Amino acid sequence: MEFSINKLIANSSTVQWGFYDPEAKPLFNVSSGDIVEVHTEPGMREVDSEMREIVSPELIDIVENGERKLGGHILNGPIGIREALAGDVLEVKMLEILPRYNWGFNRFRPLSGGLPEDFPYERRIIIEIDKEKNVCDWETGVPIPLSPFFGNMGVAPPLNLGKVTSGVPGPWGGNMDNKEFTEGTSVFFPVFVDGAQFSIGDGHGCQGDGESCLSALECGLIGKIQFFLHRNTALDVPMAESSSDYIFMGFDPILDNAIKSVIREAIKFLVERFEMKKDDAYTLCSLSLDLRVTQIVNGTKGVHGLLSKSLFEDMN
């Protein structure tokens, strides 16, 4: 079967800058199975003189002519998914993710980040991206391997929530900043409005679990993503599947609470998908579910649980 391929390059008329909006109209519609190639820009609220020398004309266009609301992330979209209805599940598969430019940046600022008490000042550094060697470097002598993923993606939130900031994660996805969402991973979202209305951006060239200082290697990315609509399943919060793991997510301002959400999602999945007894699922989580701190810097923090798919090879 032939799927259509659309290209979506970020500019002032193709992005939602800082928000997810259940009432936004789609830029275009695709069908289940279709592929979209997105070219995203890193989020910034202004282009200062240092940045002006390296950024693309499109990013300048967005910052000068776009309308920013609520948050700071530049999100390509929304893309409508034909026939998607509230209650469905939208699968978004990351087919390919590549850095777009040879630069990115990292920054922290007062009252934000993981250690605001220790770092009560602003700092931004431009980071060189070496696509050939697949590392980034800012002259510390510590080149860090790239592992690109989109930090911020999701469907339109429920109508009664109205516009939500791109700064936090939630049931619609949003600013999840989950470093597991690299090439080959599928992310599954609950659909809240007709057409699902998917948006994506906030490229991260690399990031540790936690995104400790506030930001990752923020950079432009080119991604090939494929959409699949699922009708016979339901979700309350996004989950994901990589080639090796099932990934469950919890979001809460307090990590201890986010952890509980993750364990509950994992147990529910094991009971529903593999017909395990609840008690056995709890034990299996204790023996095999790896709890990781997704991010501590988005107000609503995140935890994710990784459960190896190899455990279920005989059961599928």
Partner 1 sequence: MEHELFANPENVSRGFYDASTPPILTVKSGDTLRVHTESGLEEHLELVGDRASDEFRAIIEKLPIGPGPHILIGPIAIEGASPGDVLEVQLEDISPRYDWGYNGFRPLMGGLPEDFPYRRTVIVEIDKKLEVADWGAGIKVPLRPYFGNFGVAPPHSMGKIGSYPPGSWGGNMDNKELISGSKVFFPVFNEQALFSIGDGHGCQGDGEVCLTALECAMSGTLKFKIHKELSLTLPKAETPTHFIFMGFDPLIDNAVKIALRETIKFMQSEFDIHRDDAYTICSLAVDLRVTQIVNGVKGVHAMLPKNIFK
Give residues in contact with partner 1 (CB under 8 A).
106, 108, 113-115, 118-119, 123, 125, 136, 138, 140-145, 206-217, 254-256, 259-260, 263-264, 267, 274, 276-277, 279-280, 282-293, 296, 301, 303, 305, 311-312, 314-315
Write down the least CB distance from residue 174 to partner 1, Å: 19
Q: Are 307 and 242 in contact (CB under 8 A)?
A: no
DSSP labels for 90-111?
EEEEEEEEEE-SSEEEEEE-TT
Give the largest CA-CA distance in the chain. 60
Element (H, E) at 42: none
Residue with smaller CB distance to partner 1, 14 or 178: 178
CA distances (Å), origin 131, targets 100, 104, 135, 136, 205: 9, 12, 7, 8, 10
Residue with smaller CB distance to partner 1, 226 or 295: 295
Write down the least CB distance from residue 117 to partner 1, Å: 8
| Start-to-end Cα distance in the chain | 26
Write down the least CB distance from residue 133 to partner 1, Å: 13
Q: Are 240 and 179 in contact (CB under 8 A)?
A: no
Residue with smaller CB distance to partner 1, 11 or 175: 175
Write down the least CB distance from residue 205 to partner 1, Å: 8
Write down the least CB distance from residue 55 to partner 1, Å: 20
Residue with smaller CB distance to partner 1, 66 or 151: 151
Residue with smaller CB distance to partner 1, 109 or 224: 109
In 3-state terms, the chain is what percent helix, strand and coil (to 5)? 15, 35, 45
Q: How many Å apart are CA 205 and CA 168, to the nearest integer?
A: 20
Write down the least CB distance from residue 110 to partner 1, Å: 13
Residue with smaller CB distance to partner 1, 17 or 105: 105
Write down the least CB distance from residue 101 to partner 1, Å: 17
Residue with smaller CB distance to partner 1, 132 or 279: 279
| DSSP at 61 | H
Q: What is the dihedral sign for C-alpha 24, 26, 32, 34?
A: negative
